[in-house]
Amino acid sequence: MNKNGYVTSIQAGWNSLIKGVTMKQCTLATRKSMERALNEAEEKAHKNLARYKFMNFGYWAAIWVHLNQVGNFHRPNPFSAYVELARNKRKGVK
């Protein structure tokens, strides 16, 4: 933040000075955009799994886990039921 209380481009990740935006407002906007990205990642993961695109599912599931951790959202993992199903299937295969 510069001497006028504005967020600078380095702090905000944009190329120019954002006038009239405080760090708190920038943080709230960032958190909201991260939450939207988290929801989008979950949606894309499920969509790809339904279409048998397992590598894409893994990619979006990993993005979801990363955003959940970085954003400190503490949401329960929506993919844990799939992991449990796979573990149970694996036990029956031996």
Dihedral of the CA atoms 45, 46, 49, 51 (nearest 10)? Answer: -110
* 24 pLDDT higher than 90: no
- What local confidence, expressed as pLDDT, does residue 5 receive? 55
Cβ-contact 6, 18 below 8 angstroms: yes
pLDDT band at residue 35 under the 50/70/90 scheme: very high
Mean pLDDT confidence for 35-42: 95
Please state the separation of Cα 90 from the chain's center in Å.
Answer: 29
What predicted TM-score, i.e. pTM, was given to this entire model? Answer: 0.70
- What local confidence, expressed as pLDDT, does residue 3 receive? 60
- What local confidence, expressed as pLDDT, does residue 11 receive? 47
- What local confidence, expressed as pLDDT, does residue 22 receive? 65
